[in-house]
Amino acid sequence: MPEKRDYYDILGLSKGAGDDEIKKAYRNLAKKYHPDVNPGDEAAEAKFKEVNEAYAVLSDGEQRARYDQMGHAAFEGGGPGGGYGFGGYDFGGAHFDISDIFSSFFGGGGGRTANRNAPTRGDDVSAQLTINFEEAVFGCKKEVTYNRVEKCDDCGGSGAAKGTSAETCSTCRGTGQTKATQRTPLGVFQTSRTCDACRGTGKIIRTPCSTCRGNGQVRAKKTLEVAVPAGIDDSQRIMLRGQGNSGRNNGPAGDLVLFIAVRPHAVFQRNGHDVYCDIPITFVEATLGAEIDVPTLEGSVKYNIPEGTQTGTVFTIKGSGVPHVNGKGRGNLQFTVIVEIPKSLSESQKDILRGFADSTGVKNYAKKQSFVKKLFGGK
């Protein structure tokens, strides 16, 4: 016989470990080596038995005291209550529900099957709604058509044909679950599983509804009018509560999630609540200054640009941007002037410009003067 390992070493604990430490170590190791988690793994099964043997002794105050005093010799030849069901400890014929053990290990997952007769919320449904730039800025009302799952009107969601009703499953007696008993070294375990006869519903439909084929739900096309709020942006979402798939067993419906797609504008671009555009101006307008027409989201406005305006200069019109969604205030409109250089000039026009250039030299061009000084060292 191989020498038995120290129970504290098996659980990875020191001899003075507290009850909570012992319980925590046991749960972690039992979860790791459980046969249901490691099917067919003999090494894991052996570890599982070893962990349970150690825990059975160290979790019992009397057994632990004997073990701390005498070690494994304390249990040689049997102990109180008769034989040793697990290498030296008798579980006393106790019955365990493996579902409860898994529930404590895995946070409620485990072997328990959810009650399929309980009210269940329907799934959410998603759809895309495409709108133009102005509709996104100022808001609008749009119709959206999408597919969703609805309760079958012909059977009222029962799945049974008119004039009939579902029967309680005789196999599981309406619980949706069946139990099996298994004797293991840990004791006698009960495992729960979904009833094969009713597929966990607890009901048997002898005459299914011809419309939904016993499902209780059908796919349908739905059209809604949607109020799109002013200021919504591309890729944002609108959530319509209760407009998704219908629930089961009188459960609430899911939601409709609308993903907004905004078509680009020919002139404007948007960043948050601010709007941007480029405006071309002539060489003369930039030089002498001018009153120009500036397009906004609500029509053109007059704007005076100063003389000597350089290309790339940005001007701001406050409060002419996008409204804040469900809030107060608006963003700004920023426009950039682009000085357009004339092309295809006549000879007389060129002569005029040459005369203009000779009369100004470089004294009216501050940037050019600075560049020349840097290039030639101030000469």
132 and 246 share one domain: yes
Domain assignment present for 102? no
> Is residue 317 within 8 Å of 306, Cβ to Cβ?
no
Cα(255)–Cα(246) distance, integer angstroms: 9
**Which residue would you say has higher pLDDT here, 40 or 121?**
121
pLDDT single digits (tens) 261-294: 999 999 999 999 999 999 999 999 999 999 999 9
Q: Tell me: the pLDDT tens digits for 193-226?
A: 888 888 888 889 999 999 999 999 999 999 999 9
313 and 335 Cβ atoms separated by less than 8 Å = no
Read off the pLDDT of residues 223-256 as tens digits, 9 standing for 90 and up: 999 999 999 999 999 999 999 999 988 889 999 9
What percent of the chain lies above the pLDDT cut of 70? Answer: 85
Are 250 and 228 in a shared domain? yes
Q: What is the pTM of this model?
A: 0.61
> Are 21 and 13 within 8 A, CB to CB?
yes
Q: Are residues 32 and 80 in the same domain?
A: yes
Does 110 map to a domain?
no
* Domain enclosing residue 301, as ranges: 269-343
Asked, for residue 281, whether it belongs to a domain, the answer is: yes
Instruction: Retrieve residue 282's tokens.
Output: 């002539």
Same domain, 19 and 71: yes
In a domain, 1, yes or no: no
Q: How many residues does the chain have?
A: 379
Closest CA to 315 of 341, 290, 340: 290
Final residue of a structural domain among 235, 262, 289: 262
Q: Could you count the other beta carbons within 10 Å of the beta carbon of residue 107?
A: 8
For position 27, which CATH number holds?
1.10.287.110
Q: Are residues 89 and 57 in contact, defined by beta-carbon separation less than 8 angstroms?
A: yes
CA nearest to 178, candidates 187, 186, 169: 169
Q: Tell whether 63 and 156 lie within a shared domain.
A: no
Number of domains in the chain: 4
- Residue 12's nearest CA partner among 68, 50, 69 is 50
Q: Is the same domain home to 254 and 131?
A: yes
Residue 297 has pLDDT above 80, yes or no: yes
What is the per-residue pLDDT across 65-111, written as a single tens digit (0 to 9) for each? 888 888 877 776 544 333 333 433 343 333 444 444 444 444 444 44
Render pLDDT for 349-365 as a digit per residue (tens, 0 to 9): 999 999 998 888 777 88
Is there a single domain that holds both residue 251 and residue 375? no
**Same domain for 246 and 142:** yes
- In terms of domains, do 73 and 39 share one? yes
**Do residues 362 and 335 both lie within one domain?**
no
In a domain, 190, yes or no: no
> Quick one: which H or E segment has residue 376?
helix 366-376
Q: What are phi and psi of 63, to 5 degrees?
A: -65, -40
Confirm whether 152 is domain-assigned: yes
Residue for token digits 């002569």? Answer: 351
Domain presence at residue 339 = yes
In this structure, are residues 113 and 177 in contact, taking their beta carbons and an 8 Å threshold? Answer: yes
Q: What tokens does 375 get?
A: 């290039």
Does residue 138 share a domain with residue 17? no
3-state secondary structure of 378: coil
CATH number of the domain within which 337 lies = 2.60.260.20
pLDDT for position 302:
97
Angle at 289 between CA 372 and CA 358, to 5 degrees: 40
What is the Cα–Cα distance from 33 to 47, expressed in whole angstroms? 6
Please list the residues that pair with 96 across neighbouring strands. 189
The set of residues, in sequence order, having a beta carbon less than 8 Å from that of 355 and lying 6+ positions away, is none
- Cα gap 301→292, rounded to integer Å: 8
In angstroms, the first-to-last Cα distance of the chain is 103
Residues 296 and 319 in one domain: yes
